[in-house]
Amino acid sequence: MILSYCVECGVELARNLGKCPLCGTPVLNPRQPAPDLSENPNPDVFEEAISHMDRGYARQLAVVAVLIPMLIVLGIDLIDGGGIWSPFVMGALGMLWCFFAVPLLFRPKKPYLYIAVDALALCGFLALVSALTDGFSWYLGVVMPLLVLTGLMTLMMLLVYRRIEMRRLHRAAILMLLMAALLMGMELILDLNASGKASLSWSVYAGIPMLVISLMLAGIEQNKALKEAIRKRLFI
Amino acid sequence: MPSWLRLDNAAKIYPAARTKNWMSIYRVSVTLKEDVDPALLQQALDNTLKRIPLFAYRLRRGLFWHYFDRQDKGPLVEPDARNILMPLNLTQNRDFLFRVRYHRKRISLEVFHALADGSGAVSFLMTLAAEYLFLHDGKRIPARLPILDTREKPREEEWEDSFPKYARDVTRPRGEDPAWRLRGTPEPHGLLRIVTGIMPTERLLSVARENKTTVTSLLAALMLQALMNRKKESRRGRDRPVKLSLPVNLRNIYPSKTLRNFSFYVNVPVRMDYGEYSLDDLIALVSHYMGIETMEPMLNARFSANVKAERNPLLRAAPLVIKNLALKAVFSVTGERYMTSTLTNMGRIAMPPEMEQRVERIDLVLGRARKTPLNCAVLSACGKTMVTFSITMRETDVERDFFTSLIRLGVPVLIESN
């Protein structure tokens, strides 16, 4: 009969153990060089675990959670006098659902889809509002171009931030330039809608400092000694 | 046996607290001296279910409560797996609330806590093992509790809900201090690590007597000490007491013969911020605290509060969906808030000598808790006491501290692990 004890804990160890389960010390018994696996009291088969969260069910639940207030609102509005304000609430609920339920339920690995869905949801909701109120003039002239521009630029910034390999300060510089471009685009859209003429004014004032900053950032990235000196003084 | 049953008072929380990946489940195993024959085991299981039909129920949803629905056929025995105590799949497992598994010489019973407590499960397993041995060599094992005679008819007292039967009107407020929470690095893939220490019962008893205490109080004091040593290294929750939950078998107090849930618990608190405690202090603390809390009036007033809560008309009239959500929320907030860990001692399982010579050992293993990463179960049989830790964290200091303290007290310990 071979007995093995843990030299650290003083406990006797079952013969199938190669190390002490309490402290991890390997078993060194010259009479029994390797653990006796035939003594293993447990089977080798593993039972398969039940899969984790049931997403299908969660999706159904999320749909129901939005549909119920929608129906209630519609019902109240119809009783109250015929579907005047309920479309606004229902549209807003649908938009909020896109904002919160989509990322939670579908867990997009990359956020591009999520941003596109959000921009579309916002476009859709505002289109609904304009259809229900004064018509599409302000929507087509200002809102939609602004939303599309913002959505596209956000996607582009995200792409730069996540996908394209470059140094950190270069990346910051490019993001800054994209931001300046976004501001200029916004001003163009607003001007074209208000006066029919395209003239850049405030966005230039904002854009010039941004351009300067991005040039500075790019320059700092080039100059290693300068970068090191700044890092030395500014570390948190 | 009625065609359907209400869940007992303690069971009501378990179906609601269940999630996709977790349920309150535990295992009792008996290891024989020779390999188990699955066909005979199946036959023994069918016979045992005729004597203890309580286990042949499935869980169903009513409009207001879950209920147990009687089934005529029992489940099939299945081969054991390495990762034990996975949640039962109540829809695929032919809807049974337990399963019987075999591996080499070992017969294991895994039970959903809504069905029965450890005492009922031990009774079922021992009856099953005795029936198996009878089928194997034709000699009947004398039926003495926990073994039931499979030739007899089931008795009504075996499936009664004893809580309302013994509860009284006066209740005790349930307020308690929240406990310090044990935390650790989770094991990968939610693995349940099982570490068993096997020690001679006689030696353990004499060490307990030397310290003028019982085995349960001695082990509880050692466990508290190990938890307290771990707390010293943690910065979280300095002012919170370390609390060890000790289940109490109410059948020792009331003449109940039920096989369903009829146990309660006492959470023993230790305030470490008040100062240092020696092992003797801890032993005294545990035995005095338990001495007061396990008096019949003290326990009764506590479980009567649960019975009273169950009778609340507002709760009763709520549809099951709402009730489930509410109970789930209550359980996830308060279920394990008042204890740092659990140590359950089933005590010594008495067996007739005809059976004792055919059995090598009996084990009790707790399933993973919802949050607590370490729990402990103790059971004595065949002259051996098995102390089994069920752990979901990587750190080993609590169980190491516990077993090395036993060795220093002069109890030899043999360690096994999965």
Q: Which amino acid, one-letter code, is at A168?
A: R
For CA atoms B156, B161, B162, B167, give the dihedral sign. Answer: negative
Q: Which pLDDT value is given to residue A236?
A: 63
Q: Measured between CA atoms, how close is B253 to chain A, in angstroms?
A: 37
Domains B4-149+162-166 and B188-293+333-417 share a fold: yes
- Return the domain boundaries, chain A: 1-43, 165-236
Mean pLDDT of B233-253: 88
Task: Out of A94-103, B45-54, B269-278, B394-403, pick the least confident.
Answer: A94-103
Of chain B, the percentage scoring pLDDT greater than 70 comes to 99
Interface check B383 vs A, CB under 8 A = no
How far apart are the C-alpha atoms of A124 and A131, rounded to whole Å? Answer: 10
Mutation to test the A interface, candidates B101, B361, B400, most A Cβ within 10 Å: B400
Instruction: Sort out which chain B residues have CB atoms less than 8 A from A53's CB and list them.
Output: 20
Which of B179, B340, B336 is CA-nearest to residue B244?
Answer: B340
Interface list for B 105-144 with A (CB within 8 A): 106
Instruction: Using an 8 Å CB-CB cutoff, list chain B residues near A19.
Output: none
- The reply to whether B87 touches chain A by the CB within 8 Å rule is yes
Predicted pLDDT at B363: 94
Q: Which helix (H) or strand (E) holds A79?
A: helix A55-80
- pLDDT, tens digit, for every residue of B83-134? 888 888 776 555 689 999 999 999 999 999 999 999 999 999 999 999 999 9
Which CATH number does B188-293+333-417 carry? Answer: 3.30.559.30
Q: Is the ipTM of this complex over 0.90?
A: no
Mean pLDDT of B197-217: 94
Q: Do A54 and B82 touch (CB under 8 A)?
A: no
> Facing residues of B249 across strands?
B263
Q: How far is B154 from chain A (nearest CA, A)?
A: 34
The least confident of A26-35, A138-147, B103-112, B328-337 is: A26-35
Task: Check whether A57 has a pLDDT greater than 80.
Answer: no
3-state class of B347 per DSSP? strand
Residue spans per domain, chain B: 4-149+162-166, 188-293+333-417
Whether the pLDDT of residue B247 is over 90: the answer is: yes
CA of B411 vs chain A CAs: smallest distance (Å): 10
| B103 vs A contacts (CB less than 8 Å) | 41-43
Can you tell me the mean pLDDT for B258-285?
93
Give percent of chain A above pLDDT 90: 9
Q: What is the rounded CA–CA span in Å between residue A100 and residue B235?
A: 36
CATH 3.20.20.150 fits B4-149+162-166, yes or no: no
B332-341 confidence digits (pLDDT tens): 888 888 999 9
Residue A50 in this model has a pLDDT that exceeds 60: no
Q: What is the pLDDT of residues B145-197, one digit of tens each?
A: 889 988 889 998 899 999 999 999 999 887 888 999 998 888 887 788 999 99
pLDDT > 90? residue A128: no
Subunit contact B404:A11, Cβ cutoff 8 A: yes
**Interval A23-31 mean pLDDT:** 84
Under an 8 A CB cutoff, do B403 and A49 touch? no
Write down the pTM of the prediction: 0.73
pLDDT for res B376: 95
CA B165 to chain centre: 22
CA distance A13 to chain B (A): 5
